[in-house]
């Protein structure tokens, strides 16, 4: 859980770029003076990052060349169709390439070793054509010193692997060299000012109990996401993982796009099509750990325990049952940095959400550790400085080579300077995830009556962040959808989810409450919680069931490994109303841009009335969380004088509300008298469990009302 205290959350200053700052990694102290006692640690990690940059410059020609490792390692085909394969395996005594191309002869194609433990073999073209057939199977066969036995491995830099579960769970490596390369048609879209992120998993993106494909996602999901108003997609579980039920977190082939969903070109088409719609596409990248598989992973690749990973216990994650990278290794840095470049260059992703960052930052990996927000927890012997420095280098490389790149950190600890640039001593991410917010909602829905909801605590949790570092707010992500937990709407309505979500049934108090709070939770999170917003696919319409992949424990069922997009499309069901509200919310943000506007000013947190009022991006937000009380002519403060109209109203019938507010008749005029610390006030009707967002009348485009109703934008 993010556990920043009040002092730390408010201590960040403005951008110091125009001030004279020290060039030793302590520039961040100008942003946050509370970091002063930890200047030695800041200097140490900054110095180590600079040493790596210097070493890479001297020995590799710079970070740009160093991160092109995929052009040297793995399989590369020259213009004359000569194939060259290289693999780093210093512990091996001998190495051979075997496969369909030589009838799996284990001795016919021996590789040569250089002084650095890199094995190489070349194949001249045959009649002008590549000597190895496209998409044919192959492996590297190694003789290891332990017992001089032969062992076959999947090449570490392979770009395509396939799995035939009817034969074996072990993956096959394939030589991917299509005669016609995919040609991208659309340029990358501009970096969004406000990132409205749709977190998605290709395989579950179908109502049918099956593994959906890249092509189906392109055809069915991209238009839906675009219509909803999201401008960024975060694709999960794309890097090839050994076990489908792991949600993509046991990577065995880091350069291969999962073949479960189709061919590499199908993924390229997906990204290209998204770009054509103006949608940015991020990859969920897992550099925090790797599958422990030996036969088709990196583990024990050359017979040693320490090739890519730390040796012994330090190289194993207790809870994840996986291997941990040695970020202090020159070749591991080449592998991981090149992996990022590969996904950016080959597939034209626009950036990354780095998974498991907490595990990378600390030697304890966050296991059994609670973070109180005390700064001593972020520095000292528990910090894995090599992991910190790798993330510094990764962000520096990405932002230098791709100015519009987006990098997101999934960190539960609240590490200071995570989203501050390297030159100031920061780690360099663009955004961090506000992981405390969904925890609060789940806790309250489990433990509190509605009347017990604490408006001050709600506002504190939504705003208690490092305001010099951008935060992504969300009410629920895939973590809350996974089996063992329940989605927010399920917590709200599970007693009647399967009986009363139809418009043909009675609109019961349970469903009325569930729909109302589902919209209000999302809206206040969107408006108050950060500088970007994230939603996990299906939750925009209150997906009724959890997420559980086929596994032995559920008889390998696909029943819960899908998203039921048939539900919002059915006009008889109320899911479509939630879907329409979500679209209206996203398109309203597109018009007013509150996510990239300064932090909100909260003028009221009334515990008795259960009312919250704040202003952001020139909009006035009024929330009434009271379970039974409605308020007529409720006085709220507002800084800017003028005439206001409603641009969002959770109680609209089209959104599953009761239609108690007559929007077409509602114009709100300010009175020139101070109220709640603001220069003016106006009076508004706010029914129970309703939120309204007001804008100055002159900001409204002609025809705005009908557009909001349809959820298509302004």
CA–CA dist 138, 175 (Å, integer): 7
Given the residues 410, 476, 537, 615, select the one marked as catalytic. 410
DSSP string, 441-468: HHHHHHH--GGG--HHHHHHHHH-S-TT
Q: Which of 204, 692, 282, 203 is nearest to 472 (CA)?
A: 282
User: Which residue is catalytic, options 355, 545, 548, 663?
Assistant: 355
Which of 441, 453, 511 has its CA nearest to residue 477? 441
- Quick check: is 410 catalytic? yes
* CA-to-CA dists, residue 152 to 240, 281, 294, 331, 367, angstroms: 19, 36, 10, 22, 34
What DSSP line would sit under 533-579, residue for residue? EEEETTGGGT-SS-B----GGGTT--TTSS--THHHH-TTBTHHHHH
- Residues contacting residue 686 through CB under 8 Å, at least 6 positions apart: 611, 622, 623, 624, 630, 631, 634, 692
The C-alpha atoms of residue 259 and residue 599 are separated, in whole angstroms, by: 43
Find all residues with CB under 8 Å of 65, minimum gap 6, and list them.
none
Q: How far is CA 46 from the centre of its chain?
A: 26
User: Does the annotation mark 24 as catalytic?
Assistant: no
The neighbouring-strand residues paired with 201 are 236
Answer yes or no: are the C-beta atoms of 247 and 478 closer than 8 Å: yes
The span from the CA of 601 to the CA of 612, in Å, is 11
CA distance 241 to 171: 10
Work out the end-to-end distance of the chain between its first and last CA atoms, rounded to an integer number of angstroms: 37
Of the candidates 318, 319, 300, 320, which has an alpha carbon nearest to the alpha carbon of residue 309? Answer: 300
Residue 360: left if φ>0, alpha if ψ -120 to 50, beta else—which one?
alpha
In three-state form (DSSP H/G/I as H, E/B as E, the rest C), the secondary structure along 614-625 is EEECCEEEEEEC
Which residues have a Cβ under 8 Å from the Cβ of 707 and sit 6 or more positions away?
587, 701, 713, 714
CB within 8 Å of 557: residues ≥ 6 apart? 209, 548, 550
Cα–Cα distances in angstroms (integers) from residue 131 to residues 86, 123, 352, in the given order: 16, 6, 36
Q: What's the rounded Cα separation, in Å, for the pair 120 and 112?
A: 5
For 468-498, the three-class secondary structure string (H helix, E strand, C coil) is CCEEEECCCCHHHHEECECCHHHHHHCCCCC
Q: Could you tell me which of 306, 293, 312, 305 has the C-alpha nearest to residue 253?
A: 293
- Contact assessment for residue 83 and residue 127, using Cβ atoms and an 8 Å cutoff: no
Cβ–Cβ under 8 Å, residues 284 and 340: no
Write out the catalytic residue numbers: 355, 410
């Amino acid at each position: 859980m993010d556990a920043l205290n009040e002092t730390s959350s408010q201590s960040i200053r403005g951008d110091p770029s125009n001030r004279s700052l020290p060039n030793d990694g302590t520039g961040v102290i100008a942003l946050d003076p509370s970091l002063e006692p930890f200047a030695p640690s800041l200097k140490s990690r900054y110095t180590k990052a600079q040493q790596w940059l210097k070493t890479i410059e001297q020995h590799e020609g710079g970070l740009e060349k160093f991160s092109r490792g995929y052009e040297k390692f793995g399989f590369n085909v020259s213009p004359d169709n000569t194939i060259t394969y290289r693999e780093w395996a210093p512990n091996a005594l001998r190495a051979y390439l075997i496969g369909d191309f030589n009838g799996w002869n284990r001795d016919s194609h021996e590789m040569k070793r250089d002084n650095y433990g890199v094995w190489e073999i070349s194949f001249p073209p045959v009649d002008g054509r590549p000597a190895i057939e496209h998409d044919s199977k192959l492996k590297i066969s190694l003789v290891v010193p332990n017992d001089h036995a032969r062992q076959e491995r999947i090449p570490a830099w392979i770009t395509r692997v396939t799995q035939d579960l009817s034969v074996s769970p072990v993956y096959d490596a394939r030589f991917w060299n299509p005669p016609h390369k995919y040609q991208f048609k659309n340029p990358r879209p501009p970096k969004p000012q406000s990132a409205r992120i749709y977190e998605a998993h290709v395989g579950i993106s179908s109502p049918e109990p099956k593994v959906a494909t890249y092509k189906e996602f392109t055809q069915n999901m991209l238009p839906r996401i675009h219509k909803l108003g999201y401008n960024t997609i975060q694709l999960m579980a794309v890097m090839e993982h050994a076990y489908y039920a792991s949600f993509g977190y046991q990577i065995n082939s880091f350069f291969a796009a999962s073949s479960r969903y189709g061919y590499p070109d199908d993924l390229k088409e997906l990204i290209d099509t998204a770009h054509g719609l103006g949608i940015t596409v991020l990859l969920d990248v897992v550099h925090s750990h790797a599958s422990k598989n030996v036969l088709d992973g990196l583990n024990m690749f050359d017979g040693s325990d320490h090739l890519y990973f730390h040796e012994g216990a330090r190289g194993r994650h207790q809870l994840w049952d996986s291997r941990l990278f040695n970020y202090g290794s020159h070749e591991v840095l080449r592998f991981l940095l090149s992996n990022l470049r590969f996904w950016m260059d080959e597939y034209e992703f626009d950036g990354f959400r780095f998974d498991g960052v907490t595990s990378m930052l600390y030697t304890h990996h966050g296991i059994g550790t609670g973070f109180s927000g005390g700064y001593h927890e972020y520095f000292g012997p528990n910090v894995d400085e090599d992991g910190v420095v790798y993330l510094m280098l990764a962000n520096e490389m990405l932002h230098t080579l791709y100015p519009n790149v987006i990098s997101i950190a999934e960190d539960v600890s609240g590490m200071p300077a995570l989203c501050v640039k390297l030159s100031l001593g920061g780690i360099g991410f663009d955004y961090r995830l506000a992981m405390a917010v969904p925890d609060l909602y789940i806790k309250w829905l489990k433990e509190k009556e509605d009347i017990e909801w604490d408006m001050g605590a709600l506002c504190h949790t939504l705003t208690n962040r490092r305001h010099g570092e951008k935060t992504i707010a969300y009410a629920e992500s895939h973590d809350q959808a996974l089996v063992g937990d329940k989605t927010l709407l399920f917590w709200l309505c599970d007693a009647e989810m399967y009986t009363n979500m139809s418009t043909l049934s009675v609109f019961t108090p349970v469903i009325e409450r569930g729909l109302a709070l589902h919209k209000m939770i999302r809206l206040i999170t969107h408006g108050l919680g950060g500088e970007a917003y994230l939603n996990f696919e299906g939750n925009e319409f209150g997906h009724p069931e959890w997420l559980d992949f086929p596994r032995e424990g559920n008889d390998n069922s696909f029943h819960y490994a899908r998203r039921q997009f048939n539900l919002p499309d059915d006009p008889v069901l109320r899911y479509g109303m939630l879907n329409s509200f979500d679209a209206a919310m996203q398109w309203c943000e597109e018009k007013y841009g509150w996510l990239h506007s300064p932090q909100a000013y909260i003028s009221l947190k009334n515990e008795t009335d259960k009312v919250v009022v704040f202003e952001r991006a020139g909009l006035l937000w009024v929330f009434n969380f009271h379970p039974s009380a409605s308020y007529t002519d409720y006085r709220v403060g507002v800084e800017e004088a003028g005439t206001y109209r409603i641009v969002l109203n959770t109680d609209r019938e089209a959104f599953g509300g009761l239609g108690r507010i007559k929007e077409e008749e509602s114009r709100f005029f300010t009175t020139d008298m101070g109220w709640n610390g603001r220069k003016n006030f106006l009076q508004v009707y706010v029914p129970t469990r309703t939120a309204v967002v007001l804008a100055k009348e002159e900001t409204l485009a002609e025809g705005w009302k009908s557009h909001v109703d349809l959820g298509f934008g302004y």
